[in-house]
Chains A and B, each alone.
Chain A
């Protein structure tokens, strides 16, 4: 029971972290119609900026300032790079962000080296929130989850309850009509791109201290974030939230399951046969935990190509 509760909480918090990064990505996709390959790089930049600023500003200010810096970089990327290639079509935008992700990763290696840097949470936050049995639950994880939930509520209210939200949503769905009505659509694009990058930067600044801050962190998280966006439905914020939680809980729970397909088939009396077949049949679910989200993505693409909450399906 303890383990079940812990697994559930671990999964939810990890899912919320995934949401923090994928929220920006899904908004940008809805807007540009192009997956931003450099998005996870913004996550990495957030962590490295916070690590650098931490010495000067202290942990909390660094966590606030570094997303702003990342957002600024996002604005520059949109204004001076993406906007120029926009008229050449989606393929060019995609290639541009793809190249950008390499440039960011290599620059990080150039300045900070190949190994993980010493970015850790401040000792004042390094305590257990509560404990159950032999295991403690770190308070910092709850903090990460709290930040993600606050972020979700703010973005959701901003998009659905304010004038800015109306303009943004209309610019995303019908850019030419919004422009005809006198709204500055390029400015909206720039703003959304910058805000999306800043959200990823915030996730990086917060999570980098808990996990590790290294030049591969973009790569490690990047793939999972794409899976979230595809499963949730491209462009849907609520979908991204659902998919993040689903993937987080699924990977976390699967770790505890030490049974294989053969055990399942044993219920129908075919266990012996399955064990003789071997291979995939005898592979424990727990050793596949990190691969499950990809299987889920495949399933979603087969039965509901638009994603859980997708509108364009």
Chain B
């Protein structure tokens, strides 16, 4: 009998909770991110940035008179975990899913959301991609409900090549070394594609296992033997650090063009050897207008550190979403995801780096890029070192943009 009453109470509570959500219908944003395990550090960076913007939205009154709810799900670093958590998020009534770390997870989420939306018309979900940069997400897998607010291999490499050329740091013999999965393969292709633009030849190229290699000296020996004067790599985390350290200790004189050198801890660990190498990223306060400094100080005050790595792009991506939300009127007291998606396609946001927009044909954000080199003259020093990122070239969204992939056949809702 006691059990019965207990479950009765439970059912009543659940029912009450359900009716409450139906009548109020606050917008729920679900962050499905890697929050534990070896790759937790990047997941936590995305989380900090998303929390920062959600707080701002709610301080400004939320949406439709209700604060926005941010629910956090730990995908445990893998696609299978992400698939499970996405189901949980759907059950919790999440309408906007945010994720960034790992293209493998991004690929899973975009496919799962596509299927979910086919099966549940009227209950669509949106995937806001903050950093899964594999080309297939805006190529053969491109999907109306997926929006990428980060760069991709083509955009990053093009910017990097332009920036290094401007700084007279791009040699004529380039070595491409990348990780052997979707992102690294895209990078290798992009490095090959930009040969004409950069006026270099790729002397040799390597794809290696991801985050498995402790000792990069054999690869450095190979780079040395190729006679390359510049190394371009999309490597991140340990694969980048170990590669650069091995290169320094072998006395290799090649210059590095990278995409992820601004990951926290890299400069501290690399030390002097990082100096003079390049990174193509989405934000550098020193290159931006007066708002940039204000943003940096505000972020520092709210989160305890200056925005680095993927945080700025996540903040501005979320601000685009916030902007689109303010222009999406509620339908029957709730958020109409299709309407939000259509509004997002026409939203423009002026960021400290320049104007940013969303390309409707493949849902790849058109955003300004900055190429910086590691220098002691930089305004903001990072990682407690005396070095920081000194901007070399700021590219507007149009300059950084690369064409839509022909493989993208987007099905739009009526």
Contacts and interface: CB of A to CB of B under 8 A. Distances in A.
Nearest to B213: A290
Contact of A11 (B209, B213, B218): B218
Contact of A286 (B206, B215, B242, B245): B206
Interface in B253-302: 253, 263-266, 268-269, 271
Contacts of B222: 3, 255-256, 286
Given A118-B269, A289-B209, A136 B44 contact: no
B271 A141 contact: no
B2 to A, nearest CB: 37
A210 B220 CA distance: 15
11 contacts: A6-B217, A115-B263, A115-B268, A134-B224, A135-B250, A210-B245, A215-B38, A216-B238, A251-B218, A255-B208, A290-B213
Interface stretch (A147-155, A219-227, A234-242, A303-311): A219-227
Nearest to B269: A116
Interface string B172-183: 000000001000
Contacts of A17: 214-215
Nearest to B184: A287
Interface residues of B, number: 41
Contact of B252 (A117, A135, A213, A255): A135
A6 B216 CA distance: 12
B215 A14 contact: yes
Given A14-B214, A289-B208, A3 B250 contact: no
Interface string B27-46: 00000000000101100100
Contact of B250 (A113, A136, A211): A136
B238 A214 contact: yes
Given A286-B206, A289-B209, A3 B214 contact: no
B38 A216 contact: yes
Contacts of B249: 126, 136, 138, 140-141, 210
A128 B251 contact: yes
A293 B38 CA distance: 22
A137 interface: yes
A93 B310 CA distance: 42
Most buried by B among A2, A114, A137, A288: A114
Contacts of B326: none
A10 B221 contact: yes
Q: Which of A137, A141, A210, A212 has the most CB of B within 10 A?
A: A212
B225 A287 contact: no
Given A117-B265, A210-B245, A255-B221, 19 more contacts: A10-B217, A14-B214, A115-B264, A115-B268, A116-B266, A135-B221, A136-B249, A141-B217, A211-B242, A212-B238, A215-B38, A216-B238, A220-B212, A221-B214, A251-B215, A251-B218, A255-B222, A256-B222, A289-B218
A14 to B, nearest CB: 4
Interface of A: 2-3, 6-7, 10-11, 14, 17, 109, 113-120, 126, 128, 131, 133-138, 140-141, 210-216, 219-221, 224, 248, 251-253, 255-256, 284, 286-291
B268 A10 contact: no
A44 to B, nearest CB: 12
B250 A220 contact: no
B180 A10 contact: no
A240 B290 CA distance: 61
A117 B269 contact: yes
A220 B238 contact: yes
B52 interface: no
Contact of B209 (A211, A215, A291): A291
B250 A138 contact: yes
8 pairs of A and B residues whose beta carbons are closest in the complex = A115-B265, A136-B251, A114-B41, A290-B209, A138-B249, A255-B218, A290-B212, A10-B217
Nearest to B384: A118
Contacts of A119: 269
